[in-house]
Structure 1
Amino acid sequence: MSLHRSIRLAALLTVLSAVVSGVMAVADGHGTRQPSAASETAARASVTEGSVLHVVAHPDDDLFFMNPDLSRSIQAGTRVTTVYLTSGESDGRNEARGPHLKDPARPADRAAFAEARQNGIRGAYAQMATGDRTSPWQRTSVPTAGGGYMEVDVLVAKPHINLVWLQLREARSIDAETPDSLRGLWNGNTAALGAQLTSGTPVKQSFSYTKDQVIRTVADVLEQYKPTTIRVQDPTPGTWADNGRLIDHQDHMYGARFIQAASERYAKSTDRPHFSVQNYSGYLNTSLPPTLDPQTAEEKVRYLKTYAWLDHQEWCGSPAGCGDRKTAAKPAGYGWGQSIRYSRGDSTSWMAEGTPGRLWAFAVLDGRMAYWSRSGPRGEWRGPDLLPGAGMDPGATAVRLPDGRIAVFGTRTTLGAEPQDYARAVVFATQVSPDGAFGPWQTLGTPETTDAAGTSAISGPAVAVDRTGRMTVYIRDAKRTLRARAQTAPDGPFGAWQAWGGTDLQGEPVTATDAAGRRHVYAATGKTVLAWIQQTPDSPLKGPLPTKLPPTTVPLSAAPDGEGVRLFFRRPGSGALSTTLATADAPVPDLSPVAEAGGRGGYGAVGVAGPLLAGRGSTGTIGTVGMTGATSTTTGTGGSPLWSESRMLYTGAPAGLAEAAGPASMAVLGLDADLHVTTTASPTLRPGAPGTRPLWHHAVRH
């Protein structure tokens, strides 16, 4: 081992020596609590474990786009690390602009402005972790695998909270093609990208990185921290329909691509746990309804106000300033403070029943498709087993074929040797026989022809199976319209991609088949929900059809319900869960009145398993509620449905199904990259009633 490597490892081990190992504290929405050893039930229950690492382009991307997931993880006692790729130096002027803001303009000083942003971030993290923004940090300069240096900050009071600053130059423009940027480095327009050191950093040596050195540096950070969950921005946000410009900041987009490459390299190492990846939307939130309830949004903005140095008190002792005054004019951003969205992984259809009682669950771990299986209603879960092939994106969709075989679908990103080779495609694998091994991955490609403008922005797939066993795949394309590709015969080839129209489609489409065999497909827009429905089981889809539904927070869930399909979605501004029953007896879908199905607010998609619903509460933990038709079986104050909240944070979306034998089963992927499940044998589940609270537990015993 080289002396340089030895020094770097020694420094990192010193920084990480205080990190708590083993089971972390758990979140129950009311502070921090340790699992009770006195209760065997509590000891078996799933709690928040694992290690979370965020990677963002700029200081504040985490606060704007990954909160409240970030604060909930910190408050749960989870080991949390955030890596900042650039210094975010902008024009070097730490000044607030806007009405009634009369701060004098400071002289341009990029090093000082970058330092002020660091100070604001440290204050916000200290506040999230301890309640005191002045809680001190230990700041260290550490050599990197790329030949440069990074600043590593450790919160002294909570040493499992770390900040890592790579301090590269930012693009200094949202979408202009600046060669000296992450975009220019990725696309080969510059050979190396230099550092922009902050004025107060312990890093004193200037340096620059090639493309490979950035990837190597980030991959090595992953190897040192060994996260089980990696949170990153959207590598393919797409473009605005009206002007063709990038939807998101170029540093967000290309920074995320560097993380894709680094994660792929890290996945080849052997001394690490399994890990999952969660992608977050950025500027797109501006154009969509808010997702958070008022209390959660207020808490999120409170941390942003600390970062923005809104009170202008000299609490940090730095001549550069104690926060980002540019943010002071709009501490909530452009609607960002009221929202959080996942750009991938909202599918709730990743669990399926093969032969009776045999369950299969799928998730992407280590960039590969993983699966777990349960042999029967009383059998034990086994897994995870990983299918061959790297580059899988977060999210999976599984369907059952008529003979009991399972097919699993997802999307795969190919980085390629050249920048123009970067592309995404829909892929699938099918079991060779019921309960048997999976065959090789097959590709359906993409309706997009080039990634020149970020057009790999296709959604994850929704998949329908007709009575003969033919599969049809639906995706939202980069132009935000619906596209489909169908098999020409059972087990046969797929035809060409077909255009099904629609405009401004968001998120992933959902599909379900009613009792009469008629297929329904739904997709949310920024203002309503559009439908495509068969009038008879074998007729072509008709659509897009208006539903006249109000705006939603985007993620939809759909499940058969008698002669129709029941939709679940969240109300903007509250996160309360709503439901409606759609039937296909008329040329335009007939919808029942929208009813509340969720009580307390939350965010993200909701899994459906017969009478059992599961989703993320405002505390970020997984919650469940029992339903009978459109009416909750348990009500709280004023008749609102009562959710039974667990003490576990998770990633992605829940999946569920009502098994043929009767039980309702739910599954989530925890922050520990492990499968957690709950099952009820009662079709009239009453969460919250004595002795019937659903118990989430590890699917596979450890």
Structure 2
Amino acid sequence: MPRPALPSFRRGLLMAAPIAVLLGITGGTLALTTGPSDASDVPSRGVPEAQAVKPVRTAGASVLQIMAHPDDDLFFMNPDTSQSIASGHSLTSVYLTAGESDGRNARRQDPRPPADKAAYAEARQNGIRAAYAEMATGNRTSPWDRTSVATAGGGRAELNTLRAKPQITLVWLQLREAGSITGDRPHSLHGLWDGRVERLESMLAAGSPVREDFSYGKEQVIETLTGVLGRFRPTFVRMMDPTPGLNDRTGKLSDHQDHMYGARFAQAALARYADSPGHPPVAVQNYLGYSTGGLPHSLDPRSTEAKLRTLKTYAWWDHTDYCEDPAGCGDRKVAARPAGHGWAQSIRHARGGSASWVQRGAGKGELYAFSVLDGRLAVWHRDGASPWTGPVLQRGGGLDAGVTSVRLPDGRIAVFATRTALDGEYRREVVTSVQAAPGGAFGAWRSLGTPERDDASRTSDISLPAVLVDRAGLMTVYVRDAGHSMSVRARRADGGWSPWRPAGGRDLRGDPVAAVDATGRGHVFAATPATVVAWAQAAPGGPVAGPVPTGLPATTVALSATPDGADGVRLWFRKPASGDVRTARFAGSGHPASPVRDVPGDVAGYGAVGASGGHLAVRAASGAVAAAPVGGGRWETGRSLFAGAPAATGAGFATLGLDNRLNWSPWRR
């Protein structure tokens, strides 16, 4: 039903003295009163769509973020979000739910105010607008135009455009949130996805230009998100992890159910959008949610400070009436703990963090690079000193972000990924595609299944595969499963594959990595919150023993491994709460053959390390790539943002820009 407009004298009272309704003034700060709230009855603060500033779609990279709640971006996607804003390219943030919670905008230690869900939703919107305005212009009060737009799902959404930077936009779909992290809430994204309810109702924020309530069925939510993708035409989409797994201690979801099912709705929309003609191909980055707080901090102190400053702006930390809105200027629940539960100190890409997506081909100087665009394998090729060509999108969709690749003894390349099936039962599986001949075309995807029984039991939480190749060309695939242990499946001499079997390990996190040394011995590594464990061959062709404690200190979980010298491999990782690069050498036993060494230079940043030929390439604190010699020297930093991790070869290193262009740089000699 449409909301009743306030009488003109009441509207004038709110405009002249908005804090008199809800709030008392004490020394320039706001103190909540205990009286009833009228904020949910305020008139629209929007302007007609024809009069609003129009969003600007910049050339090149265009990023769209899809979140369940206001603040998911600030807790889990920042500093990636702030770096996109600073780049000057288009950024659109889409919020599926209103985030209304219990409707009480107060810290736990504050007096308990009356519940007003519309007002709390408005306050959270105000906090997001202030945080984005401050990141973009330095001024949290930089104005926005708010307007109502039709959606492809038959409802309406609120569109906000930052006047000073119209390439920055916010889209509020304003659906009802679950109101519980893991509790049984049928009227939620979870219930709608599973078919427990046929429709999910709206929860409109006070002051929203969307004035008439609506509801969506599952299909309409997918259509709405598909329409948003079509309107803003992104090249890069950020979203939460749709398979976050379970908490080992409680057996419950390790993340908020809205995060998980919001990401699944985004997956479904992206799959549908991939089939639409004429759009720019889209790459995807997933982010770890609540569980990142239980892992070693991945951000350096300066990045943490900047992230926390933005969160305090969102949380209305100073509690002054700068926005003149009776609903409030931010999220006071977050003001009680603006760093969350260790979330401000970290950021983690849940998929797409492999550093082994560039591979040497059979010819002299021949290289291949791989990514996932529109859910399909994208292949770039370089023949010797000639320029790179591509991308060529291979047949077969549904791939998740991130691939890993290995070179077989005959010069062929095998690519491994995970794939999600959305038709019918949600299912995620490991897949592989192998060149038919050296330098030839890649074959059809072959499913290797999954070590998981089903999605319902543990949310299909599997890692990107790590792969060992022996001298006969037989491959062994290692996957971190949803029980946070290792599972393995091996190629047999007759061409078939063994069943999945457990390989041990406890509390494993992130993606395992693998490397084969010059003698032919295989090494596999996986991180835990406290250390790294290894599986290794004592002799070429022998059994792979493990897990073996390495005794290494904690890492930020993102690992990479490369052959080193005549008889070893080198593991690369980051120092927690610093981002500086560290390394240790292994030689067949699973125990380090050398002490941990810190690579000279203060580079900070996060994510996996690309290493080859005595050189390193990493993500710097700025979000751009930085390169340096292994032995030390000045880090040379680029300017463009990129997806995932850099990949390194003996000739140079590659990154994939947020515009989905392959960037290649030879090493400086």
Taking structure 2 as the reference length, the TM-score comes to 0.91
Per-residue deviation, 1:517: 1.4
Q: From 551, 555, 559, give the equivalent of 1:552.
A: 555
Q: Give the counterpart letter for 1:438 in structure 2.
A: F
8 Å Cα contact 2:584/2:593 also seen in 1: no
1:71-99 per-residue CA deviation (whole Å, 9 max, x = no partner) reads 0110111110000000000000000124x
Mapped pair 1:184 → 2:178: no
Give distance in 1, aligned partners of 2:368 and 2:386: 12
For 2:520, the equivalent position in structure 1 comes to 517
* 2:243 maps to 1:236: yes
Equivalent runs, 1:21-40 vs 2, <5 Å: 21-22=58-59
Distance in 2 separating the partners of 1:519 and 1:20: 48
Q: Distance in 1 between matches of 2:511 and 2:225?
A: 30
SS class of match (1:265): helix
In structure 1, the gaps of 5 or more residues are 1-10, 23-48, 635-641, 659-663, 686-702
Structure 2 Cα separation of the partners of residues 360 and 16 of structure 1: 44
Q: Is 1:604 aligned to 2:607, yes or no?
A: yes
List per-residue Cα deviations over 1:396-424 (Å, max 9, x = no partner). Answer: 1111111111111100000122xxx1010
The alignment-based identity, stated in percent, is 55
Report the equivalent of 1:470: 474
Is residue 441 from structure 1 mapped to residue 445 from structure 2 by the alignment?
yes
User: Residue type matched to 2:254 in 1?
Assistant: I
Native 8 Å contact 1:12 1:224 kept in 2: no
Aligned pairs (5 A) from 1:626-665: 626-627=629-630, 631-632=631-632, 634=633, 642-658=634-650, 664-665=651-652
Q: Is the 8 A contact 1:52 1:79 kept in 2?
A: yes
Given the superposition, is the C-alpha separation of residues 597 and 426 from structure 1 closer, same or farther in structure 2, using an over 3 Å criterion?
Answer: farther
User: What secondary structure, in the 3-state scheme, does the structure 2 residue paired with 1:603 have?
Assistant: coil
Residue deviations 1:515-559 (CA, integer Å, cap 9, x gap): 221111100000000011100011111111111111110000110
1:211-242 superposed Cα distances (whole Å, 9 cap, x missing partner): 00000000000000000000000000000112
* 1:546-625 equivalences in 2 (<5 Å): 546-562=549-565, 563-584=567-588, 586=589, 588-625=591-628
- What are the within-5 Å matches in structure 2 for residues 345-424 of structure 1? 345-356=352-363, 357-376=365-384, 378-417=385-424, 421-424=425-428
Amino acid at match of 1:325: R
Cα 1:428–1:13 change in 2 (3 A) is farther
Quote how far apart the aligned CAs of 1:596 are.
2.9
State the Cα distance separating 1:464 from its structure 2 match.
1.4
1:675 aligns with 662
Residue aligned with 2:182, SS: coil
Q: Say if 2:55 and 2:169, in contact at 8 Å, map to a contact too.
A: no
State the alpha-carbon separation in 2 of the partners of residues 441 and 588 from structure 1: 36
Contact residue 89 and residue 114 of structure 1 kept, 8 A: yes
Please say if residues 49 and 148 of structure 2, whose CA atoms lie closer than 8 Å, have aligned partners that are also in contact.
Answer: no
Cα gap change, 1:146 to 1:542, in 2 (>3 Å): same
Q: What is aligned with 1:484? A: 488
* CA positional deviation for 1:598: 4.9
Counterparts of residues 41-56 of structure 1 (less than 5 Å): 49-56=60-67
Q: What is the aligned partner in structure 2 of residue 82 from structure 1?
A: 93
Report if the CA contact (8 A) 2:584-2:592 is conserved: no
Partner of 2:104: 93
* Contact 1:52–1:81 (Cα < 8 Å) also in 2: yes
Report the 3-state secondary structure (helix = DSSP H, G, I; strand = E; otherwise coil) of the residue aligned with 1:449: coil
Tell me, which stretches of 5 or more residues in structure 2 are unaligned? 1-47
Q: 1:14–1:498: structure 2 CA closer, same or farther, 3 Å change rule?
A: farther
2:298 is matched with 291
Partner secondary structure for residue 190 of structure 1? coil
CA distance in 2, matches of 1:249, 1:20: 32
Deviations 1:584-620 (A, max 9, x none): 2x57443433333552211111111222211111111
Q: CA deviation at 1:16?
A: 7.5
How far is 1:454 from its partner?
3.8
Contact 1:547 1:591 in 2 (8 A): no
How many residue pairs get aligned? The number is 620
1:245-324 equivalences under 5 Å are 245-324=252-331
Cα pair distance change 1:16/1:598, threshold 3 Å = farther
Aligned-residue RMSD, C-alpha:
1.4
Cα 1:515–1:391 shift into 2, 3 Å = same
Taking the aligned partners of 1:475 and 1:13, their CA distance within structure 2 comes to 52
The one-letter amino acid of 2:402's match is G
| Letter paired with 1:95 | A
**How far does residue 63 in structure 1 lie from its aligned partner after superposition?**
0.2
Q: Equivalences for 1:137-176 in 2 at 5 Å?
A: 137-176=144-183
Matched residues in 2 for 1:91 and 1:555: separation?
Answer: 37
1:148-185 CA-to-partner distances (Å, cap 9, x unmatched) read 00000000000000000000000000011211000000
| Contact 1:121 1:307 (8 Å CA) reproduced | yes
Q: How far apart in 2 are the matches of 1:588 and 1:231?
A: 38
The whole-number CA distance in structure 2 between the counterparts of 1:20 and 1:331 is 32
CA distance in 2, matches of 1:478, 1:211: 27
Evaluate the alpha carbon distance shift between residue 587 and residue 401 of structure 1 in structure 2; reply closer, same or farther with a 3 A threshold.
closer
- Give me the whole-angstrom Cα distance separating, in 2, the residues matched to 1:443 and 1:15: 50
- Corresponding residue SS for 2:645: strand
